[in-house]
Amino acid sequence: MLRRANQQSAQVFRHYICMYMKKLIFIFFFPFFVIGQGAYLEFNAGLAYIPEVGLDISIFPGASFLVGKRFEKADGNLLLDMEIGLAFPTIATAKIGGGFYLNKEKKSAIIAGIRPWPLHLYTQINLPEGPKGQFILSFEVGSAIIRRRYESVDEYPLPDDDMWYRPYSDLSAESQFNVNFGYRWNIGNK
User: Where does 36-186 sit in CATH, by number?
Assistant: 2.40.128
107-142 tens-digit pLDDT: 999 999 999 888 899 999 999 999 889 999 999 998
Of 117, 122, 115, 123, the closest CA to residue 173 belongs to: 117
Q: Would the pTM count as exceeding 0.75? A: no
Cβ neighbors of 176 (< 8 A, separation 6 or more) are: 48, 49, 50, 51, 141, 142, 144, 145, 148
7-38 tens-digit pLDDT: 555 565 555 555 555 555 555 555 555 545 68
35-86 tens-digit pLDDT: 456 889 999 999 998 876 666 778 889 999 999 988 888 888 999 999 989 9
With pLDDT > 90 as the criterion, what percentage of the chain qualifies? 39
Following DSSP, what letter does each residue of 88-118 receive, concatenated?
Answer: ETTEEEEEEEEEEEEETTTTEEEEEEEETTT
Alpha carbon of residue 189 to chain centroid: 24
As a whole number of angstroms, the distance between CA 90 and CA 140 comes to 15
